[in-house]
Protein backbone atom coordinates (compact mmCIF):
# COMPACT_ATOMS: atom_id res chain seq x y z
CA UNK A 1 0.00 0.00 0.00
CA UNK A 2 1.36 3.42 -0.94
CA UNK A 3 0.69 6.27 1.50
CA UNK A 4 1.23 9.83 0.28
CA UNK A 5 1.57 12.76 2.68
CA UNK A 6 0.74 16.08 1.09
CA UNK A 7 1.87 19.58 2.08
CA UNK A 8 3.58 18.42 5.24
CA UNK A 9 0.29 18.32 7.17
CA UNK A 10 -1.79 15.54 8.63
CA UNK A 11 -3.65 14.81 5.39
CA UNK A 12 -2.65 11.60 3.65
CA UNK A 13 -3.75 9.92 0.45
CA UNK A 14 -3.82 6.14 0.78
CA UNK A 15 -3.87 3.98 -2.31
CA UNK A 16 -5.88 1.11 -0.85
CA UNK A 17 -9.35 -0.19 -1.62
CA UNK A 18 -12.40 0.01 0.59
CA UNK A 19 -14.09 -3.28 1.28
CA UNK A 20 -15.83 -4.69 -1.77
CA UNK A 21 -19.55 -4.08 -1.99
CA UNK A 22 -20.13 -7.83 -2.20
CA UNK A 23 -19.83 -7.71 1.60
CA UNK A 24 -22.56 -5.09 1.94
CA UNK A 25 -25.89 -6.64 2.93
CA UNK A 26 -29.01 -6.46 0.78
CA UNK A 27 -30.82 -4.58 3.53
CA UNK A 28 -28.17 -1.83 3.54
CA UNK A 29 -28.59 -1.31 -0.21
CA UNK A 30 -32.39 -1.28 0.01
CA UNK A 31 -32.30 1.16 2.91
CA UNK A 32 -30.01 3.41 0.89
CA UNK A 33 -32.43 3.32 -2.06
CA UNK A 34 -35.26 4.40 0.21
CA UNK A 35 -33.05 7.12 1.64
CA UNK A 36 -32.33 8.52 -1.83
CA UNK A 37 -36.07 8.51 -2.60
CA UNK A 38 -36.62 10.53 0.57
CA UNK A 39 -33.83 12.95 -0.34
CA UNK A 40 -35.20 13.60 -3.83
CA UNK A 41 -38.85 13.60 -2.72
CA UNK A 42 -39.83 11.14 -5.46
CA UNK A 43 -41.81 7.87 -5.24
CA UNK A 44 -38.98 6.11 -7.06
CA UNK A 45 -35.27 6.45 -7.76
CA UNK A 46 -33.74 6.78 -11.21
CA UNK A 47 -30.22 5.57 -11.87
CA UNK A 48 -29.09 9.16 -12.33
CA UNK A 49 -30.62 10.13 -8.97
CA UNK A 50 -28.85 7.24 -7.31
CA UNK A 51 -25.50 8.11 -8.89
CA UNK A 52 -25.85 11.60 -7.45
CA UNK A 53 -27.05 10.68 -3.95
CA UNK A 54 -26.49 6.98 -3.28
CA UNK A 55 -23.71 5.36 -1.28
CA UNK A 56 -22.99 2.54 -3.70
CA UNK A 57 -22.57 2.11 -7.45
CA UNK A 58 -25.85 1.75 -9.34
CA UNK A 59 -24.22 -1.17 -11.16
CA UNK A 60 -23.72 -2.86 -7.79
CA UNK A 61 -27.43 -2.38 -6.99
CA UNK A 62 -28.55 -3.82 -10.33
CA UNK A 63 -26.20 -6.81 -10.16
CA UNK A 64 -27.16 -7.63 -6.56
CA UNK A 65 -30.88 -7.85 -7.31
CA UNK A 66 -30.76 -8.85 -10.97
CA UNK A 67 -32.03 -5.55 -12.35
CA UNK A 68 -32.71 -1.99 -11.29
CA UNK A 69 -36.46 -2.59 -11.34
CA UNK A 70 -36.12 -5.63 -9.06
CA UNK A 71 -34.11 -3.57 -6.58
CA UNK A 72 -36.77 -0.84 -6.53
CA UNK A 73 -39.52 -3.41 -5.98
CA UNK A 74 -37.59 -4.94 -3.09
CA UNK A 75 -37.23 -1.45 -1.59
CA UNK A 76 -40.98 -0.85 -1.91
CA UNK A 77 -40.55 1.90 -4.54
CA UNK A 78 -42.52 2.38 -7.75
CA UNK A 79 -41.18 1.18 -11.10
CA UNK A 80 -43.59 2.99 -13.42
CA UNK A 81 -40.77 4.97 -15.08
CA UNK A 82 -39.07 1.73 -16.13
CA UNK A 83 -41.54 0.88 -18.90
CA UNK A 84 -39.49 -0.78 -21.64
CA UNK A 85 -39.04 1.47 -24.66
CA UNK A 86 -39.01 0.26 -28.25
CA UNK A 87 -36.03 0.90 -30.50
CA UNK A 88 -38.06 3.49 -32.44
CA UNK A 89 -39.01 5.31 -29.25
CA UNK A 90 -35.40 5.38 -28.08
CA UNK A 91 -34.17 6.73 -31.41
CA UNK A 92 -36.91 9.37 -31.44
CA UNK A 93 -36.05 10.56 -27.94
CA UNK A 94 -32.33 10.63 -28.74
CA UNK A 95 -33.06 12.86 -31.76
CA UNK A 96 -35.26 15.09 -29.57
CA UNK A 97 -32.40 15.57 -27.11
CA UNK A 98 -30.00 16.34 -29.98
CA UNK A 99 -32.44 18.92 -31.35
CA UNK A 100 -32.83 20.48 -27.89
CA UNK A 101 -29.05 20.81 -27.65
CA UNK A 102 -28.75 21.87 -31.31
CA UNK A 103 -25.96 19.32 -31.61
CA UNK A 104 -25.13 16.37 -33.86
CA UNK A 105 -23.70 14.46 -30.87
CA UNK A 106 -25.32 13.51 -27.57
CA UNK A 107 -23.19 12.19 -24.72
CA UNK A 108 -24.51 9.78 -22.11
CA UNK A 109 -24.38 12.53 -19.47
CA UNK A 110 -26.33 14.83 -21.81
CA UNK A 111 -28.98 12.17 -22.26
CA UNK A 112 -29.22 11.50 -18.52
CA UNK A 113 -29.94 15.20 -18.07
CA UNK A 114 -32.44 15.68 -20.90
CA UNK A 115 -33.75 12.27 -21.97
CA UNK A 116 -36.77 10.24 -20.86
CA UNK A 117 -34.84 7.08 -19.93
CA UNK A 118 -31.43 6.12 -18.63
CA UNK A 119 -28.69 4.86 -20.96
CA UNK A 120 -29.51 1.25 -19.99
CA UNK A 121 -32.27 0.66 -22.60
CA UNK A 122 -29.95 1.94 -25.33
CA UNK A 123 -27.22 -0.53 -24.39
CA UNK A 124 -29.71 -3.39 -24.19
CA UNK A 125 -31.28 -2.49 -27.54
CA UNK A 126 -28.29 -1.36 -29.61
CA UNK A 127 -25.28 -2.88 -27.81
CA UNK A 128 -23.40 0.34 -27.11
CA UNK A 129 -23.84 4.10 -27.20
CA UNK A 130 -22.08 4.59 -30.55
CA UNK A 131 -24.49 2.20 -32.27
CA UNK A 132 -27.44 4.00 -30.68
CA UNK A 133 -26.14 7.30 -32.05
CA UNK A 134 -25.69 5.75 -35.50
CA UNK A 135 -29.28 4.45 -35.43
CA UNK A 136 -30.47 7.97 -34.70
CA UNK A 137 -28.32 9.43 -37.49
CA UNK A 138 -26.08 11.23 -35.02
CA UNK A 139 -22.29 11.47 -34.89
CA UNK A 140 -19.94 9.50 -32.66
CA UNK A 141 -18.16 11.19 -29.77
CA UNK A 142 -15.53 13.53 -31.25
CA UNK A 143 -13.40 12.86 -28.16
CA UNK A 144 -13.64 9.06 -28.23
CA UNK A 145 -10.98 7.75 -25.85
CA UNK A 146 -11.06 4.07 -26.76
CA UNK A 147 -7.50 4.46 -28.04
CA UNK A 148 -6.23 5.86 -24.75
CA UNK A 149 -3.14 4.07 -23.50
CA UNK A 150 -3.05 1.85 -20.43
CA UNK A 151 -0.81 4.35 -18.62
CA UNK A 152 -3.01 7.34 -19.52
CA UNK A 153 -6.04 5.67 -17.94
CA UNK A 154 -4.20 4.75 -14.75
CA UNK A 155 -2.47 8.13 -14.53
CA UNK A 156 -5.91 9.74 -14.79
CA UNK A 157 -7.09 7.59 -11.86
CA UNK A 158 -4.06 8.67 -9.85
CA UNK A 159 -4.90 12.35 -10.40
CA UNK A 160 -8.53 11.83 -9.39
CA UNK A 161 -7.59 9.83 -6.27
CA UNK A 162 -5.19 12.53 -5.09
CA UNK A 163 -7.66 15.33 -5.88
CA UNK A 164 -10.42 13.64 -3.86
CA UNK A 165 -8.08 12.31 -1.19
CA UNK A 166 -9.87 8.95 -1.30
CA UNK A 167 -10.93 6.11 -3.58
CA UNK A 168 -13.05 7.59 -6.40
CA UNK A 169 -16.55 6.32 -7.05
CA UNK A 170 -17.72 5.14 -10.44
CA UNK A 171 -20.22 8.03 -10.61
CA UNK A 172 -17.41 10.58 -10.12
CA UNK A 173 -15.52 9.54 -13.27
CA UNK A 174 -16.64 12.38 -15.50
CA UNK A 175 -15.55 15.84 -16.61
CA UNK A 176 -14.13 18.08 -15.31
CA UNK A 177 -12.63 15.77 -12.68
CA UNK A 178 -11.75 13.01 -15.14
CA UNK A 179 -10.27 13.12 -18.63
CA UNK A 180 -12.07 9.90 -19.52
CA UNK A 181 -15.60 8.68 -18.98
CA UNK A 182 -16.58 5.85 -16.66
CA UNK A 183 -17.63 3.81 -19.70
CA UNK A 184 -14.05 3.99 -21.01
CA UNK A 185 -12.88 2.18 -17.88
CA UNK A 186 -15.73 -0.34 -18.06
CA UNK A 187 -14.93 -1.12 -21.70
CA UNK A 188 -11.18 -1.45 -21.05
CA UNK A 189 -11.21 -3.37 -17.74
CA UNK A 190 -14.60 -5.10 -17.73
CA UNK A 191 -15.83 -3.50 -14.50
CA UNK A 192 -15.05 -0.54 -12.25
CA UNK A 193 -13.75 -2.82 -9.49
CA UNK A 194 -11.33 -4.48 -11.90
CA UNK A 195 -10.10 -1.06 -12.99
CA UNK A 196 -9.40 -0.20 -9.35
CA UNK A 197 -7.71 -3.56 -8.71
CA UNK A 198 -5.44 -3.06 -11.72
CA UNK A 199 -4.64 0.49 -10.61
CA UNK A 200 -3.70 -0.64 -7.10
CA UNK A 201 -1.37 -3.34 -8.44
CA UNK A 202 0.17 -0.88 -10.87
CA UNK A 203 0.60 2.06 -8.49
CA UNK A 204 2.25 -0.12 -5.86
CA UNK A 205 4.68 -1.68 -8.34
CA UNK A 206 8.33 -0.69 -8.15
CA UNK A 207 8.83 -1.33 -11.85
CA UNK A 208 9.00 1.57 -14.30
CA UNK A 209 8.54 -0.68 -17.31
CA UNK A 210 4.94 -1.95 -17.21
CA UNK A 211 3.60 -2.03 -20.72
CA UNK A 212 0.00 -2.70 -19.69
CA UNK A 213 -0.70 -4.75 -22.82
CA UNK A 214 -2.64 -7.95 -22.30
CA UNK A 215 -2.47 -10.87 -24.74
CA UNK A 216 -5.59 -11.59 -26.76
CA UNK A 217 -8.12 -13.66 -24.84
CA UNK A 218 -6.95 -12.60 -21.35
CA UNK A 219 -9.62 -10.50 -19.70
CA UNK A 220 -8.55 -7.44 -17.74
CA UNK A 221 -9.04 -8.00 -14.00
CA UNK A 222 -9.38 -11.78 -14.36
CA UNK A 223 -7.38 -14.22 -12.16
CA UNK A 224 -5.05 -14.75 -15.12
CA UNK A 225 -4.45 -11.02 -15.43
CA UNK A 226 -2.13 -10.69 -12.42
CA UNK A 227 0.29 -13.25 -13.83
CA UNK A 228 0.01 -11.84 -17.33
CA UNK A 229 0.51 -8.30 -16.05
CA UNK A 230 3.92 -9.24 -14.67
CA UNK A 231 4.83 -11.39 -17.66
CA UNK A 232 4.13 -8.63 -20.18
CA UNK A 233 6.52 -6.09 -18.75
CA UNK A 234 9.29 -5.01 -21.03
CA UNK A 235 12.65 -6.70 -20.42
CA UNK A 236 15.29 -4.80 -18.51
CA UNK A 237 17.21 -2.33 -20.60
CA UNK A 238 19.96 0.22 -20.04
CA UNK A 239 17.77 3.26 -20.49
CA UNK A 240 14.59 3.66 -18.42
CA UNK A 241 11.30 4.51 -20.18
CA UNK A 242 10.58 8.14 -20.91
CA UNK A 243 7.48 8.24 -18.67
CA UNK A 244 8.16 7.83 -14.95
CA UNK A 245 5.97 5.39 -13.07
CA UNK A 246 3.69 6.62 -10.30
CA UNK A 247 6.01 5.77 -7.43
CA UNK A 248 8.87 7.67 -9.02
CA UNK A 249 6.57 10.62 -9.71
CA UNK A 250 5.47 10.63 -6.08
CA UNK A 251 9.06 10.55 -4.81
CA UNK A 252 9.93 13.54 -6.98
CA UNK A 253 6.81 15.49 -5.96
CA UNK A 254 7.37 14.69 -2.30
CA UNK A 255 11.00 15.81 -2.55
CA UNK A 256 9.80 19.08 -4.11
CA UNK A 257 7.10 19.50 -1.41
CA UNK A 258 4.33 19.24 -4.04
CA UNK A 259 5.35 22.69 -5.24
CA UNK A 260 6.20 23.90 -8.73
CA UNK A 261 9.95 24.51 -8.79
CA UNK A 262 9.50 27.32 -11.32
CA UNK A 263 6.73 29.49 -9.87
CA UNK A 264 6.44 28.13 -6.32
CA UNK A 265 2.71 27.41 -6.53
CA UNK A 266 1.14 24.37 -4.88
CA UNK A 267 -2.27 22.67 -5.18
CA UNK A 268 -2.62 23.26 -1.44
CA UNK A 269 -2.77 27.01 -2.07
CA UNK A 270 -4.11 27.07 -5.64
CA UNK A 271 -7.09 24.68 -5.98
CA UNK A 272 -7.15 22.93 -9.33
CA UNK A 273 -3.44 23.43 -9.97
CA UNK A 274 -2.02 20.43 -11.84
CA UNK A 275 1.54 19.31 -11.15
CA UNK A 276 3.68 17.42 -13.69
CA UNK A 277 6.99 15.61 -13.34
CA UNK A 278 9.40 16.92 -15.97
CA UNK A 279 12.89 16.00 -17.18
CA UNK A 280 15.54 18.62 -16.28
CA UNK A 281 17.75 17.40 -19.12
CA UNK A 282 15.21 16.57 -21.86
CA UNK A 283 14.68 12.95 -22.81
CA UNK A 284 15.45 13.81 -26.42
CA UNK A 285 18.82 15.18 -25.32
CA UNK A 286 19.74 11.98 -23.52
CA UNK A 287 18.28 12.82 -20.11
CA UNK A 288 17.39 9.77 -18.01
CA UNK A 289 14.14 9.09 -16.18
CA UNK A 290 15.75 9.06 -12.75
CA UNK A 291 14.95 11.07 -9.63
CA UNK A 292 18.03 13.27 -9.99
CA UNK A 293 16.94 14.38 -13.49
CA UNK A 294 13.27 14.99 -12.66
CA UNK A 295 11.56 18.03 -11.20
CA UNK A 296 8.04 19.11 -10.30
CA UNK A 297 6.47 21.78 -12.51
CA UNK A 298 2.92 23.03 -12.70
CA UNK A 299 1.19 22.39 -16.01
CA UNK A 300 1.52 26.02 -17.14
CA UNK A 301 5.24 26.20 -16.36
CA UNK A 302 5.87 22.81 -17.93
CA UNK A 303 4.20 23.89 -21.17
CA UNK A 304 6.20 27.11 -21.28
CA UNK A 305 9.43 25.68 -19.93
CA UNK A 306 11.47 26.96 -22.86
CA UNK A 307 10.79 30.52 -21.73
CA UNK A 308 11.60 29.96 -18.06
CA UNK A 309 14.75 31.18 -16.38
CA UNK A 310 14.65 28.32 -13.88
CA UNK A 311 18.02 26.64 -13.37
CA UNK A 312 17.95 22.97 -12.47
CA UNK A 313 20.80 23.38 -9.98
CA UNK A 314 19.16 26.16 -7.95
CA UNK A 315 19.19 25.65 -4.20
CA UNK A 316 15.96 23.91 -3.21
CA UNK A 317 15.88 26.00 0.01
CA UNK A 318 14.71 28.94 -2.17
CA UNK A 319 11.50 27.09 -2.97
CA UNK A 320 8.48 27.48 -0.70
CA UNK A 321 8.35 24.59 1.74
CA UNK A 322 4.63 23.95 2.07
The residue extents of the domains of the chain are 13-81, 84-135, 150-231, 248-318
pLDDT tens sequence across 9-68: 445 566 666 655 557 889 999 999 999 989 888 788 887 788 888 988 888 898 888 888
- pLDDT in the model for residue 147: 60
Calculate ∠ Cα 22-25-29, nearest 5°. Answer: 95
- Please determine, for residue 228, whether its predicted confidence score (pLDDT) is greater than 60: no
pTM: 0.35
Segment 61-89 mean pLDDT: 84
- Please determine, for residue 7, whether its predicted confidence score (pLDDT) is greater than 70: no
Is the Cα dihedral 244, 275, 52, 55 positive or negative? Answer: positive
* Residue 163 confidence class, pLDDT cut points 50, 70, 90: confident
- Please determine, for residue 220, whether its predicted confidence score (pLDDT) is greater than 70: no
Q: Which fold has domain 248-318?
A: DNA Binding (I), subunit A (1.10.30)
* Residue 201 confidence class, pLDDT cut points 50, 70, 90: confident
Segment 197-225 mean pLDDT: 53
Mean of the per-residue pLDDT values of the chain: 75
Amino acid sequence: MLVLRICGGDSTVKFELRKAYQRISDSEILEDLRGVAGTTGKPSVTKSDYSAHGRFSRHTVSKRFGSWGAALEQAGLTTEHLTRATADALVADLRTVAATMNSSYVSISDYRRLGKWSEGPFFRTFGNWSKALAAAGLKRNPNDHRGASFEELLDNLERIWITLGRQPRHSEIKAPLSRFSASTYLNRFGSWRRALDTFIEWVNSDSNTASGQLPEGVEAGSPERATTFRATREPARKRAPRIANLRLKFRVMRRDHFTCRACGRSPCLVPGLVLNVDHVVPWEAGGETVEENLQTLCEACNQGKGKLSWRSGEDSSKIANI
